[in-house]
Every structure is written in C-alpha cells, then in structure tokens.
C-alpha cells in the first residue's frame, strides 16, 4: 500500500523526492492485518492535516513516536475487512474515526469501538476532517466551557480548521459569535457562516472593534474566549472578558505561549481551561465518543459544514504542509487517496 513515512524529524514542506525530506512516500508498505477479533481494517479515502501533525514531524509536539512512523490522525473511508467478532460494521460501510498515528496511508486497522458510521448524505472526504478539528472545538465549548445560548463567544484564528469549527459550534449553541481572522477572503467566509461580528486583523484593532460591537449590542463583555493562537492576540483579548469568563487554551499557532495574569483571573473569577483533546482518548473516551456522534448528527442535519481549503494526493503531501505553514489555508487541508487527483483548491 501507499503510505507517508516520517523517516527523520524535520521540515515536511521539502519535496518528497529530496534527500533532505523528513517524509517519504512508500508505495510498497505492508498492509496492516487484523490484530484482534473486533478489529476492522479501513481503506482510507481521505485524511486531514492538523497542526499537531506538522509539529510532530518537526519533533516539536508533546508526543514523540519512535522513527520511522506513519503520521496522521483523523480519517474516513470504507470498511475493507472485519474480525470474526465485529458486529456493528460490514465490508463496504462508510466510516470515519481518528487514531494517534497511522492515517497517512491507504489502510489502517482500528477496533470497531473506535469507528463511527458516516450518515447517509454526508460527504465522505469532508467526514475525514471532522474528528480532530470539530471534536476539539466541541469538547472545548460544549463540555468544558458549557457555552450557552445568548453568551458571547470570541474565536481567535477563526478561519483555521479548529477556528471555523468553533464559530459553527458556537452558532449551533445559540451564542453571539465574534471571529478574528486576517484577509478579505477569510472575513467573507466567516460572514457567510452567520458570524455576528468579524474583526479583520489586517485593517482593524481587535480591542477597539470588539468593544464597539459590544457597546452597539449593549453587551457587557466576552463570556468565552477560544484561543488556538496565543501570543499578543491573547493579551489583547483578555481585556474584553467579563467577570466569570471562560478561557479555552487550544494551542499556540503564533509560536508564542502567552502569560495569563492569575491575579486578574482571581479578581475577575475567570476559569482557564487547558485543552489537550487527544488525551481524552485515554482519560475520558466516552466524552470523545459522545462528541463525535453529536457532530456527525449535526453534519447530517446541516447544522455544521466542513470547509476544505486544499486537497492533495499523497505524492504532493509537501505542498499540503506548505499551505498550512504559509497560512494559506481557510478551513482544512486534506490528503485524498485512490483518486485521479491533481493539486487543487476546492
């Protein structure tokens, strides 16, 4: 089978044919075999790139697997083979899921308890981008911050994968959503999703723009801050939070870890949530299962949509990582298998 192997830590944007490339496309990698009576082998249709995958190949992620390894987390595809005790799936069923590693390949083996059936009418490629980005935002907003209808949600990095998920989940929960992004194209997409107010970092000051909006709507401040960016933007956004606000720390795409003044958090009764979504698979797997099931239900009902910005075949994985690195992505980047597929922007 075809598989993208990380053979050494380094920059995944280098051409796969270059000797300095950290990843290589293996075309004869062994197909994984069923390893338990309840195992299911999935022929992968699509797998998404997440910022964590990029950091892991660089060697800068908190989890550091032994080399060589097949990167990749969330995926979708069709059931290819089942163990003798599998009862919930049959060969040919459309499914999606997530794994710690291994989805940047044509086949993957997982236990049936970790698979989710993709509802009829849902796009299978899009379903391959659901689990991590939307799962992160759903667990953060619904499970941790308990976002309620009428509350004000401020989303930083709102045009990225988790950001677009957060604004849509916020609207599905009935929140007043403020989104921060950069550039006219990103702003237009966010407005099309029904975001109540969008701040364009290219031409506006976050604090001034949001305060003006809050005053216009006679709102006291932000109830929930969703922050996958970090850096100076976090510091600015803290000025907008009301008493009793929830702060969701999702990541540090800016490359700078912010400092949150705990004395201010004390006085204003803020709650700071660190969210490492992947660890829920170990400590609270039931939360993840319920989250993904609800998201698939929302996807089938049209309450959320998955915007695929770029799609590539595995042979052009370096271009996929470049799009992410250069911040050209609006939504998700996908690697699609088994198609006569050229580099595209969808």
Among 315, 318, 323, 314, residue whose Cα is nearest residue 345 = 323
**Least confident window among 85-94, 283-292, 334-343:** 334-343
pLDDT at 343: 42
Pull the structure tokens for residue 158: 């709102």
pLDDT (average), residues 123-141: 95
The mean of the pLDDT values for the chain is 93
Lowest mean pLDDT among 62-76, 262-276, 319-333: 319-333
CATH class of 3-132+285-336: alpha beta
Which residue from 50, 172, 67 is spatially nearest to 103, judged by alpha carbons?
50
Using 50, 70 and 90 to split pLDDT, how confident is the model at 62? confident
What does CATH list as the number for 148-275? 3.40.50.720
ω into 68 cis (within 30 of 0): yes
pLDDT tens for residues 184-211? 999 999 999 999 999 999 999 999 999 9
Strands 152-155 and 176-181: parallel
d(CA 209, CA 5): 45
Radius of gyration of the chain (CA): 20
3-state secondary structure the chain: CCEEEECCCCCCCCCCCCCCCCEEEECCCCCCCCCCCCEEEEEEEEEEECHHHHHHHHCCCCCCCCCCECCCCEEEEEEEEECCCCCCCCCCCEEEEECCCCCCECEEEEEHHHCEECCCCCCHHHHCCCHHHHHHHHHHHHHHCCCCCCCEEEECCCCCHHHHHHHHHHHHCCCEEEEEECCHHHHHHHHHCCCCEEEECCCCCHHHHHHHHHHHCCCCCEEEEEECCCCHHHHHHHCCEEEEEEEEECCCCCCCCCCCCHHHHHHCCCEEEECCHHHHHHHCHHHHHHHHHHHHHHHHHCCCCCCEEEEECHHHHHHHHHHHHCCCCCCEEEEECCCCCCCEEC
Same fold, 3-132+285-336 and 148-275: no
Residue 205 and residue 228 in contact, taking contact as beta carbons nearer than 8 Å? no
More confident residue, 33 or 342: 33
* Domain locations in the chain as residue ranges: 3-132+285-336, 148-275
333: nearest Cα among 47, 35, 137, 7: 47
Predicted confidence at residue 140, as pLDDT, reads 98
Res. 340: pLDDT tops 70: no
- Evaluate whether 124 touches 76 at the Cβ level (below 8 Å): yes
pLDDT of 309 reads 87
pLDDT at 339: 54
Confidence bin at 18 (pLDDT 50/70/90): confident
């Amino acid at each position: 089978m075809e598989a993208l192997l990380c053979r050494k830590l380094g920059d995944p944007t280098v051409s796969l044919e270059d000797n300095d490339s950290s990843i290589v496309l293996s075309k004869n990698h062994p197909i994984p075999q069923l390893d338990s009576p309840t195992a299911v082998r999935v022929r992968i249709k699509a797998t998404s790139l997440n910022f964590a995958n990029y950091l892991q190949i660089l060697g800068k992620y908190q989890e550091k697997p032994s080399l060589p390894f097949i990167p990749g987390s969330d995926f979708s595809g069709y059931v290819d083979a089942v163990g003798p005790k599998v009862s919930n799936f049959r060969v040919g069923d459309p499914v999606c899921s997530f794994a710690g590693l291994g989805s940047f390949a044509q086949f993957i083996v997982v236990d049936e308890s970790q698979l989710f059936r993709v509802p009829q009418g849902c796009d299978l490629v899009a379903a391959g981008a659901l689990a991590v980005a939307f799962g992160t935002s759903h667990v953060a907003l619904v499970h941790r911050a308990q976002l309620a209808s009428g509350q004000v949600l401020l989303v930083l990095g709102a045009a990225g994968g988790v950001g677009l998920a957060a604004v849509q989940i916020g609207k599905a929960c009935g929140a007043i959503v403020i989104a921060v992004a950069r550039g006219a194209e990103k702003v237009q997409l966010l407005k099309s999703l029904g975001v109540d107010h969008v701040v364009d970092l290219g031409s506006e000051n976050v604090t001034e723009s949001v305060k003006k909006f809050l005053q216009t709507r006679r709102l006291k401040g932000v109830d929930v801050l969703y922050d996958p960016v970090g850096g100076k933007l976090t510091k600015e956004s803290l000025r907008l939070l009301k008493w009793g606000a929830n702060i969701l720390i999702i990541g540090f795409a800016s490359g700078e870890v912010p400092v949150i003044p705990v004395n201010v958090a004390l006085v204003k009764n803020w709650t700071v949530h660190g969210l490492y979504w992947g660890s829920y698979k170990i400590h609270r797997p039931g939360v993840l299962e319920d989250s993904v099931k609800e998201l698939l239900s929302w996807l089938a009902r049209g309450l959320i949509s998955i915007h695929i910005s770029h799609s590539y075949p595995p042979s052009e994985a370096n271009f996929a990582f470049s799009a992410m690195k250069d911040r050209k992505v609006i939504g998700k980047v996908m690697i699609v298998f088994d198609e006569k597929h050229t580099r595209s922007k969808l």
